[in-house]
């Protein structure tokens, strides 16, 4: 059950990355967005052929760095300015 929860959450991360604006993606180019979205596509379209070792590699080697980057982006965001911009 935990394995499927992990796979589903990786899928959700990729889906969220698909919703980001091109401006955001280009201004945060240190994050490998294409790989994040590609992993989502792999999970969704190759569901019965998902390699457990690939999932484990992503979890242990990629997600910690991605988490640090996302946390930094959230902390660096001026949320008052963001709200004003998105209300217009």
Rg (CA), the chain: 15
| Range list of H helices, 19-62 | 22-27, 33-45, 52-57
What is the token pair recorded at 2? 């935990």
Instruction: Please pick, among 37, 45, 67, 72, the residue that the annotation labels catalytic.
Output: 45
Instruction: Please pick, among 28, 37, 40, 67, the residue that the annotation labels catalytic.
Output: 40
- Catalytic, 72? Answer no
**Positions marked active-site:** 40, 45
């Amino acid at each position: 059950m935990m394995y499927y929860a992990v796979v589903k959450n990786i899928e959700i991360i990729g889906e969220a990355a698909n919703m980001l604006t091109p401006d955001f993606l280009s201004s945060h180019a240190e994050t490998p967005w294409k790989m994040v979205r590609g992993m989502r596509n792999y999970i969704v379209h190759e569901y019965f052929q998902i390699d457990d070792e690939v999932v484990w590699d992503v979890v242990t080697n990629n997600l910690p760095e991605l988490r640090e980057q996302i946390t930094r982006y959230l902390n660096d965001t001026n949320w008052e300015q963001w709200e004003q911009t998105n209300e217009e």
